[in-house]
Structure 1
Amino acid sequence: MTFLDYLISVDARTALMGRMMQRLGVDRQLKVVADHSAVTSRAVDRCRSCGHQDECSTWLDEHQQADDPPDYCRNRDLIARLQHAAAQR
């Protein structure tokens, strides 16, 4: 794998995380949490280290709306906390 391939791969995984947050309706909530930059950075790192990019992309393509992410999602707990916080507003 070349460095350029790596960068493209990292960017694609970051895009998957953004799509997942939007699909589950927590993208706005993520922007207003305390220390949102650090929280987002850790979420991106979890997504980047996931080995389910193909499954994730397929899942996102097949689910226009969803209440929960797939079981393998490494940001599942964060998404649940963001959904809970949004429901409290």
Structure 2
Amino acid sequence: MRFLDYLIAVDVRTALMDRMMRKLGVDRQLKVVADQIQVTNRAVDRCRSCGHQEECSTWLDNEQNANHPPAYCRNSDLIARLRLAAGQR
């Protein structure tokens, strides 16, 4: 894999994570959580190591009123904690 291909792949996964956080309404909560930089970096790393990019992209495109991420989402626990902190269920 060329370095540019790696950077593109990383960018795509980071964009998916950002879309997921926005879709589920926890993007603002993620910005104010304690240790925000470390929490975000770990979430990005989990997204980068996921093998479900196409499924995730399709899910994000098609899911209208999502309350929870798909079962394969490696950030499900984080999203649940952020939703709880934001007073969502």
Q: TM-score with structure 1 length normalisation?
A: 0.96
What secondary structure is seen at the aligned counterpart in 1 of 2:28?
helix
Q: What is the identity, as a one-letter code, of the residue corresponding to 1:87? A: G
Which digits, 9 at most, give the CA deviation of each residue in 1:29-70, with x for residues without a partner? 000000100000000000000000000000000013210000
Displaced runs of 4 or more, over 6 A: none
- Pairwise CA RMSD of aligned residues? 1.0
Match of 1:79 in 2: 79
Alignment of 1:3-18 (within 5 A): 3-18=3-18
Gaps of 5+ in 2: none
Structure 1 residue 3, shift from structure 2 partner: 1.1
Percent identity at matched positions? 76
